[in-house]
Amino acid sequence: MSDTVYLNGDYLPLADAKVSVLDRGFLFGDGVYEVIPAYAGRLFRLNDHISRLNNSLRGIRIELEKSAEDWEAIFRPLLDGSKDQYIYLQITRGAAAKRDHGFPEQVVPTVFVMSADIKPFPGRDTGIKALTLEDTRWQLCNVKAITLLANLLLRQEALDQDCAEAILVRNGYVTEGAASNVFVVIDGDLITPPRNNEILPGITRDVILELAEANQIPCREDVIALEALQNASEIWVTSSTREILPVVEVDGNAVGSGKPGPLFRNVDQLLQAYKQSLA
Ligand code: PDD
């Protein structure tokens, strides 16, 4: 993690960055966030991340709109062109004079940004284990809210069972991972659950759908029943910090051959080439 962070207009050492205990992010989890990769100093799909941020802000009724250029100017001093990093951006409703559930009339949002290194995830080459769990989250999963307690409990339950991710299931259908989107391969088709309020519209997910389409890989957005997941020949989880991770075991059973599958290798190569092409 870089030692310098941005807080409400200032760049300062991490240890000096302080917010009020009355900040609604601290008291209520009343805020939203973004995680934006920067490969060798170049922000990846910045416009898409900012557009999702604006949807999240609108979703929780925080009025703060900056252009992608304004955000980039804020992020720039935190980036180091010699490595791969991600920007963590958090906006809360701000600190009110007293604790009250209703929105304060006069409040200035708190804006916090930090950067951290992206390190290749250990399971990338070998694949990871995943656990299916009931999706216990709320109904606005399309908002990238900092209120992540359900996600944390689900991820920890997976970790406690030696799994790297929880794959969430609502009413018998797969939604997404605790901090990722889910893809499956069934009869050679690449399938991911449709965009709705039950999932975060992942930027990595969009990129993969675009790459598959451009390379004539049969792909579609469709519902995935739990039984279909259990019979898939490949399962992947995707996110900005982990890219594509192949799942080789789900609920203790091997997925396909029990090794990262051929379509994963193919699409992962396309993703790496696409990242290179932007450099
Ligand atoms: N999370 N779904 C959830 C619930 C997530 O938390 C994330 C990413 C994704 C993938 O979105 P994207 O491809 O845009 O990163 C899907 C980030 C990385 C995090 O919370 O750290």
pTM (two decimals): 0.97
What SS3 class is residue 127?
Answer: coil
Render pLDDT for 228-244 as a digit per residue (tens, 0 to 9): 999 999 999 999 999 99
pLDDT beyond 90 at 2: no
Q: Has 83 been annotated as catalytic?
A: no
CA nearest neighbour of 183 among 171, 165, 197: 165
Where in the chain are the domains?
A: 4-117, 128-277
Radius of gyration of the chain (CA): 19
Mutate to test the pocket of ligand 1, among 1, 53, 180 (most ligand atoms within 8 A of CB): 180
CATH fourth-level superfamily of 128-277: D-amino Acid Aminotransferase, subunit A, domain 2 (3.20.10.10)
DSSP of 144-198? -BS--HHHHHHHHHHHHTT-SEEEEEETTEEEEETTBEEEEEETTEEEEPPSSTT
Instruction: Count other Cβ atoms within 10 Å, centred on residue 277.
Output: 7
Cβ 200 under 6 angstroms from ligand 1 = yes
Contact 55, 100 (CB under 8 A): no
Fold (topology level) of 4-117:
D-amino Acid Aminotransferase; Chain A, domain 1 (3.30.470)
Render pLDDT for 168-187 as a digit per residue (tens, 0 to 9): 999 999 999 999 999 999 99
Give the per-residue pLDDT at 123: 87
CA distance 129 to 250: 6
Q: How far is the CA of 154 from the centre of ligand 1 (A)?
A: 14
